[in-house]
Amino acid sequence: LIRHTTQNSMEGKPQRILRPRILVYGTLLAGIFAAWTWSVINRAPLEFDVMRDRNALYRELADGGVENVYTLRLVNKQARAHTYSVDVEPVAGLTLPGGPVRVDAAAEEVVTVVVTLRSEPDAARGRSDIVFTVQSLDEPAIRARHESRFFGPVP
C-alpha cells in the first residue's frame, strides 16, 4: 500500500542517483573514516599524567629541606607489558630519592605511582619548574614528558 519510490520513477522518467546531497554525504563519511583510521594508527603507546598532592603545598623537613608529593598515572596502551623508568630532569638542589623509579605495567594497564621530590636545605624557595620523564626500558622509542612545579616556602 505504501510505495517507497520517487515521483519521477512512477512517471517513468530517468532517475538521478548521484545527486549533490549523496556526493556531499559520501565525502563527509570518507573524511571521517580517514580521520578515525589516522588516529588509530598514530595513537601514542603511553599516556602519562602528573598530579600534585592536594593536601599540602609542601612539607618542611627537620634538616631544612622541602618535600613535594606527586601522583603519577601511567597508561600502557599497547597489547604487551612494558617496564618504564620514571625520572626528573636535573634541577639544581632537587633530587628524586632512590633515583629513577622503575614501574612495571602489564598490557593495557593503568599504573598509579606516588613519588616524593626533595630539595636540599635552603635550596628550594618559591616555585621551581620541573619536568618528569618516562621512558620504556625495553623499547626506548616510547617516552613521555610532563611539566610540573616544585613549591617551597617563599623567602
C-alpha closest to that of 73 among 23, 134, 6, 131: 134
E strands, 46-88, in order: 46-52, 59-60, 66-76, 82-88
Q: Please, what sign has the CA dihedral across residues 135, 137, 138, 140?
A: positive
**What pLDDT, on the 0 to 100 scale, is given for residue 137?**
94
Q: What is the pLDDT of residues 114-128, one digit of tens each?
A: 999 999 887 777 888
Q: Distance between CA 98 and CA 117 in Å, rounded?
A: 10
**What pLDDT, on the 0 to 100 scale, is given for residue 56?**
85
**What pLDDT, on the 0 to 100 scale, is given for residue 1?**
60
Q: Is the pLDDT of residue 26 over 90?
A: yes
The x, y and z cell numbers of residue 85, run together, are 623508568
Q: What is the pLDDT of residues 131-155, one digit of tens each?
A: 999 999 999 999 999 999 999 888 7
**What pLDDT, on the 0 to 100 scale, is given for residue 16?**
77
Q: What is the pLDDT of residues 78-95, one digit of tens each?
A: 999 999 999 999 888 888
Q: Distance between CA 52 and CA 148 in Å, rounded?
A: 8
Q: Is the pLDDT of residue 63 over 70?
A: yes
Q: What is the dihedral of CA 16, 22, 24, 30, to 10 degrees?
A: -130
Per-residue confidence at 69, pLDDT binned at 50, 70, 90? very high
Q: Please, what sign has the CA dihedral across residues 102, 81, 113, 128?
A: positive
DSSP 11: T
